[in-house]
């Protein structure tokens, strides 16, 4: 079967949540800081076996 099949619903984008205000956003890379409060943002969608 084809190995290179990009499914938009199986995105590799991460889901990031601000630990301070709870703001969430998806991004391919770590946003670094919360756009709302400049707080710490962490990846909450780490998909590992
Ligand atoms: Zn925030």
Total of domains in the chain: 1
Q: pLDDT at residue 11 above 70?
A: no
Residue 6 inside a domain? The answer is no
What pTM did the predictor assign?
A: 0.65
Residue 32 inside a domain? The answer is yes
Range of the domain at 26: 11-43
Cβ atoms of residues 41 and 13 within 8 Å:
no
Q: Is 18 left (phi over 0), alpha (psi -120 to 50) or beta?
A: beta
Helix (H, G, I), strand (E, B) or coil at 10: helix
The confidence score (pLDDT) of residue 9 equals 59
Residue 28 inside a domain? The answer is yes
Residue 5 inside a domain? The answer is no
Distance 8 CA to ligand 1 centre (A): 27
CATH of residue 19's domain is 2.20.28
Per-residue pLDDT reduced to its tens digit, 21-49? 999 999 888 889 999 999 999 999 866 66
12 confidence band (pLDDT: 50, 70, 90): low
Cβ atoms of residues 39 and 21 within 8 Å:
yes
Residue 21 inside a domain? The answer is yes
Distance 28 CA to ligand 1 centre (A): 18
Distance 49 CA to ligand 1 centre (A): 29
Residue range 6-18: mean pLDDT, rounded: 73
Residue 26 inside a domain? The answer is yes
């Amino acid at each position: 079967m084809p190995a290179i099949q990009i499914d938009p619903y199986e995105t590799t984008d991460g889901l990031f949540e601000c630990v301070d205000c709870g703001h969430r956003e998806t991004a391919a890379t770590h946003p670094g800081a919360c756009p709302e409060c400049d707080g710490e943002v962490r990846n909450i969608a780490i998909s590992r076996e």
